[in-house]
Structure 1
Amino acid sequence: MNVLIVEDEALSAERLAAQLRAYDPRITVLAQLPSVAKAVAWLQAHPAPDLLFLDIHLEDDLSFRILEQVPLRAPVVFTTAYDQYLLDAFRVNGIAYLLKPIDDEELAAALSKYQQLQQHFAAPDLGTLRRLLTPAAPAYKERFMISAGAKLRSVEVADVAYFFSEDKVTFLVTHKGQLLPVDFTLDKLGEMLNPHDFFRVNRQYLVRMQALDNVHVYSAGKYRLELRPPARHEVFVSQVRLSEFKQWMGK
């Protein structure tokens, strides 16, 4: 069986590939791709795999955009960090839906299902996928559990001013100026938090609207932000995010 993995977290992709090989050493992982753009380019240049594993939220878009751009009849197993809103839908429709971290038994059940039904898969219903993957009322994260030495504490999202990454560690900063580490990348935080409240201004900072003290306009393509409480770095809005930032500010 030839398998394609589309997953934007390298460790998750490697773990899934190892689980597949452990289930059946004959499984060949053709590629591990992090984005919609790279997956589309690969699929356009290679024969279709027997089975696709697609992370729902990729670094540049939702994975169903791949299916809109490339006509495929190969079945899809969706993977995600979320734990409720699509589980029943994909099981009923015969497309497996695995929660991260992926359980070995759940993966085995999905592969067994594929083997039983591989002669009967049809092209995915994109209209149904789009409707299911964009629920009207997503459940955004409300609090974080923080480890502080031998102690645990809960921090409400409402108390967070912004997040930033430094030396491969992600920190949250509260409105009171407390600096605390969190076990999520900024990419994943962007999926977990309400986009009405938080915006990824650049690769290093994800900020709350209420934390913006001042926005300094240097030119049409360069904005510097003053955050409250003050950030330890100069914070500029990435040029590629500038248009979206202005739209977010105007909501």
Structure 2
Amino acid sequence: MNVVILEDERLTAQRLESLLKKYDPAIKVVVTLPSVEKAVDWFLQQEESEQAVPVDLVFMDIHLQDGLAFRVIEQVRLTKPIIFTTAFDEYLLQAFKVNSIDYLLKPLNYEELAAAIDKFKSLRQQYNPVAAEPAAPPAPAPDLDALLRMLAPPKEATYKERFMVTVGPKIWSVETNEIAYFFLDERIPFLVTKAGTNLPVEYSLDKLTQLLDPKQYFRVNRQCLVSLPAIRSITAYSAGKLKLELEPKPRFEVFVSGDRITDFKEWLGK
């Protein structure tokens, strides 16, 4: 089986080739192409060459160095079967899954790769049940406009920039970037400024998680929503808990709930 890889990450391309060899040492990677321009040039040269290398299957990363790989399909009218490789999640990929053999989510997994190739072989056999060395079925052309619309960068999300707080006759306007954390006290939500001022807010913690930038704020438990700059230290506690030291120092201890520790660690690393 002859395979072409469209991938601009060298290590990912090497891993894919290694996994292919693990699946079947007879698989030959004809060429690895890192960009739309180079891929288009290569496929066009193959069309014009009398010594063109037959290609059975294409592994195609969606984002290449100079744009979306769908442009390759569009410009050379590529009809080879395709297995997409991408970091996008399954929900988004449903739009074009029917137009390809399959897709693989990064980081690449051997079992999923093997299943995708098995699927390709099965489809090829269905199209050519008698031929000794059956040719691969042509891949239907994707709806490029729909794909590009779905894969376009999303509009930048907007989050609440300030909170208006009324305390008696006074009205406060607090910039979000001046808020260290939020907490519940007797079911009443409060914000705490970096200067240590406590003020009641009219939003529940559930609503606040929607209004605040998730890169900057994380709900560590049912009572507390903290900002990244407010965390001064993190200590491993008994029974797998994490204890946070916040600034300003709260009058209560703050722990990360056990069911949120994994998400919390991922948040810290973003």
The normalised TM-score by structure 1 is: 0.52
Q: Which residue is equivalent to 2:75?
A: 69
Q: Which ranges of structure 2 fall in alignment gaps of 5 or more residues?
A: 47-51, 128-135, 159-212, 218-270
**What pairs up with 1:55-204 in 2 under 5 angstroms?**
55-93=61-99, 95-118=101-124, 119=127, 121-126=137-142, 128-135=143-150, 138=154
Residues 5-14 or 92-101, more deviating? 92-101
Alpha-carbon shift at residue 157 of structure 1 (Å):
5.1
Q: Which residue is equivalent to 1:31?
A: 31
Q: Kindly, what percent of the aligned residue pairs are identical?
A: 51
Distance in 2, Cα, partners of 1:115 & 1:63: 23
Distance in 2, Cα, partners of 1:74 & 1:82: 22
Distance in 1, Cα, partners of 2:75 & 2:120: 23
Which aligned segments of 4 or more residues in structure 1 are displaced greater than 6 angstroms?
139-142
Say if 1:86 and 1:97, in contact at 8 Å, map to a contact too. Answer: no
Give the alignment's Cα RMSD to 1 decimal: 3.1
Q: Which ranges of structure 1 fall in alignment gaps of 5 or more residues?
A: 143-154, 160-251
Q: Which residue is equivalent to 1:213?
A: none
3-state DSSP of counterpart to 2:31: strand
Q: Which residue is equivalent to 2:228?
A: none
3-state DSSP of counterpart to 1:134: helix
Change (3 A) 1:83 1:42: same
One-letter identity of the residue aligned with 1:19: L
Residues 1-10 or 75-84, more deviating? 75-84
2:32 aligned with 1:41, yes or no? Answer: no
Alpha-carbon shift at residue 117 of structure 1 (Å):
1.1
User: Computing the radius of gyration over CA atoms, which structure comes out larger, 1 or 2?
Assistant: 2
One-letter identity of the residue aligned with 1:58: L
